[in-house]
Structure 1
Amino acid sequence: MDTEAVRSFVRAAEFGQLQHAADELGVTQQGISKRVAALERELAVRLFTRTARGVELTLDGQAFLPHARSIVAAVDRAVTAVRPGSRALRIDVLGLRSAQAVVLHDYWRSHPETELDVVTLRVDDPHVVAAAVRAGEIDASFRTVTDPATLPPDVRMVHAFDSPLELLVGPRHPLAAARTVTPRQLRERRIWVPGIVPRSEWAEFYDQLAAAFDLRIDAAGPNFGTEVLLDALADSADVATLVGSRDRYLWPASHDLRRIPIVDPALVYPLSLMLPETDPHPGLRAIIEHFASLTPIPETAWLPAWAAAARRSADEIADTRR
């Protein structure tokens, strides 16, 4: 089996675009297509279907992907074992516009000598990502398994940083002129968050948030991406969404969207970093230390149950050591 064809398949699956995979691997899009086609012939299955937005995995492609990642990781480890120097630190972020990517980019701008390989695994279940960390396919991931007891025994989570939420609305929304809003003011307002999927950490986060403050949070309709969401907000007089304060969103000036901090209490999305329990990549230490320099969350803040329990436990341990 051609390992470069397998690598091309993995990158195309992660990006959802043959051209993006080609750009990363330094070949033409036609070259990627030929590699994937040869792999499909060898396996006698179709791995992708083409869509208007790029490519999507077939059921056979989904079944093959974790094994393909293992093959690529094993090849990379073999090459690293005989190559002088250390390999790049490979970290999974949820999306390139996410707070995770923004903070990681800020760190890299201050430490450009750091060799980083930033990826976005197209996986919603954090347990699948934990398995990728355990297998050595990635060095770390900004994901959270909300029940730490279900983590693989050789994977651990550390608190990375917290992301306060903001309300994002269009100019005709009733709260558009507010400088801040409270959770109480959001009751009875429709908050549309497309892309909430079962078994994801953010599904559990939004379930707990809605229950805690009696909010209307829904993910109705297909998720056509950020641009469509922003267009809908600009045109609507009643729909809002929630975004992280560090998330990066861009929209046309004519949209006139407003980001409004949520206070009394602040609503906070906690971000964790999953990494191997033993022998983590040496580049992770400085990045984790960088998180400690970030602005702390307000004293009056709401956290989901799993994060609040972890903070109480950490505080109790700190008290016993004083």
Structure 2
Amino acid sequence: MELRHLRYFIAVAEEGHITRAAERLGMQQPPLSQRIKAIERELDVQLFRRKARGVELTEAGRVFLDHARAMLTQNERAIESTRRSARGEQGRLCVGVTPTGPFHPFVPRIIRAFREAFPLVSLTLEECLSPELLKRLRNEQMDAAFLRTPMAEPEDLVVDALLEEPMVMALPSAHALAQYAGDDAVSLKDLAGETFIVYARQHGPGLYDATTAACLKAGFSPRLGQEAPRITSALSLVAAGLGICAVPASLERMIMDGVAYRRLKGPNQPKAVLNLASRRGDPSAVVRHFRSLVRRAARDFHTDWVKAA
């Protein structure tokens, strides 16, 4: 039995008259009558009682009508769902982000924008350090990832450079340079004698490399202290007075007792980048929509940020 045969049956059931149903379907009455009889033979049940002025459903016919409508509805939903998936309007998207990424206002903003634009896409966020993010991307366990590490574009990935922001110094609140009033900036040279807390040097070296390069350009090699696996751990070490740490300016929104943030002044200030990585040649329309939305939003965000500055 084909889906069109179900439509024939439903039309006759709703019209209660084979001739009117045939007109509604745009076909002749004899072929429709033959098809209804064929359906009854196939099911081995009587679906209609013939009356002088039409037909009426039997009890078996009413049961079959409910199921026929449900089957057609399910088929139409499956077709529409398939088409939405092909257009990238429905599906799944797993996005990775480094531990410092969510503090940048761009990241939650773009996630909200994508969910509003594509409400039928199931989006999940996973937090990992950069090497793990790249591993999951390559293993197809993740579709896209926000990275803090500058990187040359490998053959298997596409890396979109989105934004960069200045880095600030996280100081113990009792530190002499933390006693400045307001937003007074400090010079990187003034920190040459300090101990620098190392954040994810081996597994997320982007911020460490930026800090080290800036210190070298300022004329000194930073004295390295304890290494912290997460940015929250690094700030906890700062709060405990064990050293200072350069962090992206967006981390200033993380208020922690015992930690003060100071802007840097002078040339060669370290910068923190924000990139988006995805698999090269990924056929997913959902991923294409996400990348496109991220790139457009990054351009607008950069313009608004410059104006605000």
Same structural fold, with TM-score higher than 0.5 when normalized by the shorter chain: yes
Letter in structure 2 aligned against 1:260: R
Aligned to 1:169: 171
Aligned to 2:272: 269
Deviations 1:137-190 (A, max 9, x none): 2221123675526x1x23111111112101111232121133111222222222
SS at match of 1:148: coil
Aligned to 1:104: 107
Q: Offset of 1:285 from its aligned partner? A: 1.0
Report if the CA contact (8 A) 1:91-1:140 is conserved. Answer: yes
SS at match of 1:291: helix
Q: Are residues 1:259 and 2:269 paired?
A: no
Provide closer, same or farther for how the CA distance between residues 145 and 175 of structure 1 changes in structure 2, counting only shifts above 3 A. Answer: closer
Aligned to 1:290: 297
Q: How does 1:69-80 map to 2 (within 5 A)?
A: none
Q: How does 1:179-218 map to 2 (within 5 A)?
A: 179-197=184-202, 200-215=205-220, 217=222
Q: Offset of 1:224 from its aligned partner? A: 6.8
Deviations 1:257-289 (A, max 9, x none): 321111223321122211233344322211221
TM-score normalised over the length of structure 2: 0.56
Provide closer, same or farther for how the CA distance between residues 269 and 285 of structure 1 changes in structure 2, counting only shifts above 3 A. Answer: same
Write the distance in 1 (CA, Å) between the matches of 2:232 and 2:196: 17
* Structure 1: runs of 5 or more not aligned: 1-79, 299-322
Q: Offset of 1:112 from its aligned partner? A: 4.4
Write the distance in 1 (CA, Å) between the matches of 2:204 and 2:93: 27
Report if the CA contact (8 A) 2:173-2:239 is conserved. Answer: yes
Figure out how many residues of one structure are paired with residues of the other and give that number.
Answer: 209
Partner of residue 158 from structure 2, selected from 152, 156, 179: 156
Report if the CA contact (8 A) 2:157-2:278 is conserved. Answer: yes
Partner of residue 239 from structure 2, selected from 231, 234, 238: 234
Write the distance in 1 (CA, Å) between the matches of 2:150 and 2:110: 26
Provide closer, same or farther for how the CA distance between residues 270 and 124 of structure 1 changes in structure 2, counting only shifts above 3 A. Answer: closer
Write the distance in 2 (CA, Å) between the matches of 1:191 and 1:145: 19
Report if the CA contact (8 A) 1:143-1:272 is conserved. Answer: yes
Write the distance in 2 (CA, Å) between the matches of 1:227 and 1:88: 30
Write the distance in 2 (CA, Å) between the matches of 1:159 and 1:87: 26
* Structure 2: runs of 5 or more not aligned: 1-80
Letter in structure 1 aligned against 2:127: T
TM-score normalised over the length of structure 1: 0.54
Report if the CA contact (8 A) 2:163-2:274 is conserved. Answer: yes
Letter in structure 2 aligned against 1:293: D
Report if the CA contact (8 A) 1:160-1:291 is conserved. Answer: yes
Write the distance in 2 (CA, Å) between the matches of 1:112 and 1:83: 15
Q: Are residues 1:245 and 2:249 paired?
A: yes
Write the distance in 2 (CA, Å) between the matches of 1:284 and 1:270: 17
Q: Offset of 1:218 from its aligned partner? A: 5.2
Aligned to 1:118: 125
Provide closer, same or farther for how the CA distance between residues 107 and 147 of structure 1 changes in structure 2, counting only shifts above 3 A. Answer: closer
Letter in structure 1 aligned against 2:296: E
Write the distance in 1 (CA, Å) between the matches of 2:177 and 2:148: 32
Write the distance in 1 (CA, Å) between the matches of 2:151 and 2:173: 40
Larger radius of gyration: 2
SS at match of 2:164: strand
Q: Offset of 1:81 from its aligned partner? A: 7.6
